[in-house]
Homo-oligomer: A and B are copies of this chain.
Amino acid sequence: MGEKYKRLSYYYLCIIFKLYNHQRLELMKKTRLTLKDVANQLGVSTATISNAFNRPDQLSKKKRIEILEQCKRIGFEGPNKAAQILRKGHSNIIGIVLSDNIDYIISDPVASTFMKGATEVLREHKKHTLLYSGDSENIGDIADFVDGFICYGAPINQALVSELANQLKPVVTVDFDIENIPSINVDNETACFEIAKSTLKESDQVAILGLRLIDSKSTCRIYDSPLLDFEHSISHRRLDGYIAAAKTVGISIEGDRIWTIAKNTSKYASQAANEALTSIPRPDVILCMSDLIALEVLKLAKDKGIKVPEELRITGFDGIDEALRTRPSLTTICQANAEKGKAAAETLLLGLTTSRLVSYEMKIGEST
């Protein structure tokens, strides 16, 4: 009964809201001056006003300044941008397509740093940034008015990939590839080879905490499950690197020593950290595919009184601020995330067609 009432009142609220909103919009329409209004008031043609704002070479300096001043006086801010978008066919808006929800991705420090680099370049070029979820149904919602796409990570809705490939605006991908489209990547395999190589010793018990290695929504060991290939191939490149390095010191890492995590969040990471640390034999080394995971392992080890690095060595991946700030500091691969963002934005804005590999740096911390 109460539930029903709630629903009903919500329903009415929505109607009222819509009516109200409609009125509000009507009001707006009435009050914003148009080029035509101004042209009438100043006694010149609309073209002249338009030129005063957009093409200084089309009229005398004197007249231009005069017009601009008059416009300011009567409160005309310039040509309507919505109309400009339609007419000119571009908007100065760049869509950044994220791999997942905006709300998930924005709290991820790696993604944030990427965004930082990308938006910095976009801002220099006077472009606006529109965030777009990788779990959206389609790209058509914004494809008509953005000037291009930066696609950060394979979107969890795979359909978006082919939509991006089939539409006409320029696209740059990051951390994954679409045929014939420029991309920005890091050499994950080599990086992971290096960090594992520098950490592992012959007699080590090793565990790997990976990201989306198999198609599972929960944290678990991968055993011999089929690997999830398309979406998160960077995880597999990393895995390849770890395993290859282990092989060089005579260790072989089996599927029961490899965990997969569905999302790069503390919650999932702490589950995996707990499983790994309470498994027998207890690992001497835990190779983590993200700093966030490594930090959870570190925290848990502290809580359990396991000494790092004496009894347990931990490596991360990403190089987020917290990994450097925490004590003991983390051994990790510092991806130039901001650089990736910059590279992506530059590639898009300059219309480059070549892909780029961005450098990384291994930081040896106190955790190994």
Q: Which residues of B contact A351 (CB under 8 A)?
A: 17, 20-21, 24
Q: Which residues of B contact A80 (CB under 8 A)?
A: 144
A157: CB under 8 A from chain B?
no
Q: How long is the Cα–Cα vector from A89 to B24 in the complex, in angstroms? A: 11
Q: Which residues of B contact A168 (CB under 8 A)?
A: 27-28, 31-32
A268: CB under 8 A from chain B?
no
Q: Which of B20, B91, B107, B170 contacts A109 (CB 8 A)?
A: B107
CB distance from A50 to the nearest CB of B (A): 15
User: Is there contact, CB below 8 Å, between B85 and A145?
Assistant: yes
Q: Which of B32, B89, B123, B131 contacts A133 (CB 8 A)?
A: B123
Within 8 A of B (CB), among A104-137: 104, 106-107, 109, 112-113, 115-117, 119-120, 123, 128-133
A307: CB under 8 A from chain B?
no
Q: Which residues of B contact A106 (CB under 8 A)?
A: 106, 112, 115-116, 119
CB distance from A93 to the nearest CB of B (A): 7
CB distance from A290 to the nearest CB of B (A): 14
Q: Which of B31, B128, B169, B321 contacts A132 (CB 8 A)?
A: B128
- Which of A116, A142, A145, A351: most chain B Cβ within 10 A? A145
Q: How long is the Cα–Cα vector from A175 to B350 in the complex, in angstroms? A: 38
User: Is there contact, CB below 8 Å, between A141 and B17?
Assistant: no
User: Is there contact, CB below 8 Å, between A119 and B102?
Assistant: yes
User: Is there contact, CB below 8 Å, between B25 and A89?
Assistant: yes
Q: Which residues of B contact A27 (CB under 8 A)?
A: 168
Q: How long is the Cα–Cα vector from A351 to B27 in the complex, in angstroms? A: 14
Within 8 A of B (CB), among A282-321: 295-296, 299, 302-303, 321
Q: How long is the Cα–Cα vector from A107 to B116 in the complex, in angstroms? A: 7
Q: Which of B77, B81, B109 contacts A145 (CB 8 A)?
A: B81
User: Is there contact, CB below 8 Å, between B28 and A89?
Assistant: yes
A224: CB under 8 A from chain B?
no
A365: CB under 8 A from chain B?
no
Q: How long is the Cα–Cα vector from A170 to B266 in the complex, in angstroms? A: 36
For A160-192 the 0/1 string (1 means CB < 8 A from B) is 000000001110000000000000000000000
- Nearest CB to that of A21 among chain B residues? B351
User: Is there contact, CB below 8 Å, between B350 and A327?
Assistant: no
A326: CB under 8 A from chain B?
yes
Q: Which residues of B contact A20 (CB under 8 A)?
A: 351
Q: Which of B101, B117, B129, B350 contacts A130 (CB 8 A)?
A: B129
A229: CB under 8 A from chain B?
no
User: Is there contact, CB below 8 Å, between A145 and B82?
Assistant: yes
CB distance from A87 to the nearest CB of B (A): 9
Which A residues form the contact surface with B (CB < 8 A)? 13, 17, 20-21, 24-25, 27-29, 31-32, 77-78, 80-83, 85-86, 89-93, 101-104, 106-107, 109, 112-113, 115-117, 119-120, 123, 128-133, 138, 140-145, 168-170, 266, 295-296, 299, 302-303, 321-322, 325-327, 350-351
If A21-B351, A107-B109 are given as contacts, then 14 extra A-B residue pairs at C-beta distance below 8 Å, sorted by A number, are A20-B351, A24-B351, A28-B168, A77-B143, A81-B145, A83-B86, A86-B86, A92-B141, A101-B120, A102-B119, A103-B120, A266-B321, A299-B326, A326-B326
Provide a sorted-by-A list of 18 A–B residue pairs whose CB atoms are within 8 angstroms: A24-B170, A24-B351, A25-B89, A28-B89, A81-B145, A82-B86, A82-B89, A83-B86, A85-B85, A85-B145, A92-B141, A112-B112, A119-B131, A123-B133, A131-B131, A266-B325, A296-B325, A322-B322
